[in-house]
Chain A
């Protein structure tokens, strides 16, 4: 009798397990195993975070294995990596080496691998190659829009301000820096209703410091450079003229001490807008108060990471036979997706950087829904639309507790 009971319980357990397995397989499709080679130009903390997400969440969910490069620096090392990817049986390549993606695509094509490049600029060469699937990554215009929002949050108070814009690598042709600077200048144009005497792009790409002369006599100075900002910018800050400083790069790390010293010396608040990623340092700054009783950092423009997800989904769908829907018409699709996030308060920052937030704010169910095996009608435009819906406001609403 006792044995009978045991057998019955065991049978029941087996049936339950079968039911669970069948239900699960009905929800998530059986993806065929694929391998993606990921070429990167950096192995920073953010890259390690992405690797962990791929290893623990995205890879198992979409049945994708990843192979990563060391930090690639030039076209030669990129080509060697793509060749190694082929030798190692990869089915697709994602290349995060903006300047060289057009050179990487034909190499992947020769080996029959699908290719996705990450860049803020669109593809210009080798567009006809059928395996050159897409270029993903926030567009230069997206950077401009994000900077415009950040500036408006600081100077839109109706007060008169003197603004210094640090254009970073814009004089060297770096598109996100150029658009960040131009977006900032445009936002000031809108806020003050002013007209500049010179061309916006000429000012943004100037390799020397320029005054953005305008009919309303608002003091706006554009300062280029990526090197030792403390040496070049501190003397300007010490004049006490400027009360808003905008950086198209991470200026918080290099200039926070200099700004603090000037604030203490003059007793005047200097508003700070910087380009950053989520980190402990930025968290302290966003939640901190300076010597004048104002936030240490007033707004940050934070690079999105949706490009990491979109490139994997695009390649997954191509591998499953839906490449026609993932490529544009006769050329690689352009999937800018998520614009850089604009965070203007400590509350927003804390909510967005919370441990409960999914990577890139995209729930895994949403990602699975973007795969062609689940939704055969999905196109690259749907992936792009989903990415664009990931704005600060939408994310906060979606994940509100």
Chain B
């Protein structure tokens, strides 16, 4: 019986379908509990809007998490890049330039993180702790206690044109293809299963880690742009909870905390939407914000404990 259960849990399709099934069940529960108010088209759109920044940054972060590494500087990096990009817009009033600067700066910042880790032979986690402090200080140095704001017409114009959806969908498709349908993604997952074995097989870990970080950096850059479009203002508190939200989304989305074969790009979007659905649904049922925070924390711990078991399977060609 236990063996049978284990086989079901280890089944690739069980893992892939578990989170979507939970998401549908939770949404159905809230729809019934709120007498249908939860599932109005406007509410559903708002929930997707709220999840978009986390989903974008977390989709990129999957390329790091798949290797069994954790980057806790994503929030600080997003805040810094958003500051630089917003300042660039204020100075030049050029939206294309703001986009280019955000994407390039995001890729560079995370590439530096990867290089520091591989060149100095220090674990990624420790480097990202240092980077988090460093990037945050840099942002404070640039901003002080002031804020940098874009004119309402500019950021609301981009929002109304549906740019956030276009950015996310384009980035998601790119990541989906790279991660699940190329040898690059397969090798990242292989490193997550056993990095020593991967090195011995001929995959140069530092090289794949570097490119994984670059992709995550592009995600950070796009996340910074989405932050600007959504809020119109950047301060030193911008994206302060983004890091936690991304980690929560990835784990909640069904990805193993160890990465490896149970790593999926769609974990990020599923997890981000599930967090938003939980927040909104509980709020609509009259649960206070303090208790919602506690519930979020408990769910995260439970899922983290559940995903402690390193997945057995090897990365396959079908993703």
Hey, which bits of chain A sit against chain B, CB under 8 A? 43, 67-70, 73-80, 83-84, 86-89, 99-100, 103, 106, 125-126, 169, 172-174
Q: Using an 8 Å CB-CB cutoff, how does the interface string of B275-291 with A read, 1 for contact, 0 for none?
A: 00001100110001110
Stretch in B62-70, B108-116, B144-152 with 4+ CB within 8 Å of A: B144-152
Contact among A70, A74, A172 for B240, CB-based, below 8 A: A74
Q: How many A-B pairs with Cβ below 8 Å?
A: 77
**B268 on the interface (CB 8 Å rule)?**
no
The residue in chain B whose Cβ has the minimal distance to the Cβ of A87 is B43
Determine the distance from Cα of A43 to Cα of B288 in the docked complex, in whole angstroms: 13
Contact B240 A73 (CB under 8 A): yes
Q: Which of B110-153 contact A (CB under 8 A)?
A: 144-147, 149, 152
Q: Supply 7 further A-B pairs (C-beta < 8 A) apart from A70-B292, A75-B231, A100-B147.
A: A67-B283, A75-B147, A75-B238, A83-B49, A103-B233, A172-B146, A173-B146
- 22 CB contacts below 8 A, A to B, read A68-B288, A69-B289, A73-B237, A74-B231, A74-B240, A75-B147, A75-B235, A76-B231, A79-B230, A79-B231, A80-B50, A83-B46, A84-B279, A86-B46, A88-B283, A99-B233, A100-B235, A103-B152, A172-B145, A173-B144, A173-B145, A173-B146
Contact with A along B203-243 (1 / 0, CB 8 A): 00000000000000000000000010011111101111100
With A76-B53, A87-B280, A173-B145: A68-B235 Cβ-Cβ less than 8 Å: no
Distance (Å) between the CB of A120 and the closest chain B CB? Answer: 15
The docked-state distance in angstroms from the alpha carbon of A79 to that of B146 is 19
Give the residue of B147, B156, B289 whose beta carbon is less than 8 angstroms from that of A106. Answer: B156
Q: Which residues on A sit within 8 Å (CB–CB) of B43?
A: 87
B280: chain A residues within 8 A (beta carbon): 84, 87
A125 nearest in chain B by CB position:
B152
A253 to B199, CA, bound (A): 57
Decide: B152 and A74 in contact? CB cutoff 8 A.
no
Residue B308 lies at the interface, judged by CB distance under 8 Å to chain A: no
Q: Is the CB of A174 within 8 A of B145?
A: yes
> Known interface pairs A80-B50, A173-B145. Does A106 touch B284 (Cβ–Cβ under 8 Å)?
no
Closest to B279 in A: A84
Q: Are B283's CB and A74's CB within 8 A?
A: no
Task: Specify which chain B residues have a CB less than 8 angstroms from the CB of A100 in the assembled complex.
Answer: 147, 231, 233, 235
* B residues lining the A interface (CB < 8 Å): 37, 43, 46, 49-50, 53, 144-147, 149, 152, 156, 227, 230-235, 237-241, 279-280, 283-284, 288-290, 292-293
A73: which B residues are within 8 A, CB to CB? 237, 240-241
Residues of chain A within 8 A of B279, CB atoms compared: 84
Report Cα–Cα, A133/B31, bound state, in Å. Answer: 33
Closest-CB distance, A133 to chain B (whole angstroms): 18
A103 to B239, Cβ gap below 8 A?
no
CB distance from A91 to the nearest CB of B (A): 15
Please state if A126 and B152 are interface contacts (CB–CB under 8 Å). Answer: yes
Task: List B contacts of A88 (CB < 8 A).
Answer: 283-284
Given the complex of chains A and B, what is the CA–CA distance between A77 and B238 in angstroms? 9
Nearest CB in chain B to that of A106: its residue: B152
Instruction: Give Cα A80 to B231, complex, Å.
Output: 10
- Please state if B232 and A103 are interface contacts (CB–CB under 8 Å): yes
| CA gap between A285 and B163 in the complex, in Å | 57
Q: Which A residues are in CB contact (< 8 Å) with B144?
A: 172-173
User: In the complex, what distance in Å separates the CA atom of A78 from the CA atom of B238?
Assistant: 11
Q: A126 to B234: give the CA distance in the assembly, Å.
A: 18
Q: From A207, which residue of chain B is reached at the shortest CB distance?
A: B144
With known contacts A126-B152, A172-B145, A74–B50 Cβ distance under 8 A: no
* Contact (A169, B145) CB under 8 Å given A70-B290, A76-B238: yes
Contact B237 A74 (CB under 8 A): yes
Which residue of chain B has its CB nearest to the CB of A85? Answer: B283
- With A84-B279, A174-B145 as given contacts, are A76 and B290 in contact (CB-CB < 8 Å)? no
Q: Contacts of B156 on A, CB cut-off 8 Å? A: 106
Evaluate contact between B53 and A84: CB separation under 8 angstroms.
no
* CA of A79 to CA of B53, assembled, Å: 13
Q: Within the complex, what minimum Cβ distance (angstroms) separates A102 from chain B?
A: 8
Cα A301 to Cα B53 in complex, Å, equals: 42
**B289/A74 in contact, CB under 8 A:** no
Residue of B nearest to A40 (CB): B289
Instruction: Give the nearest-CB partner of A71 in chain B.
Output: B289
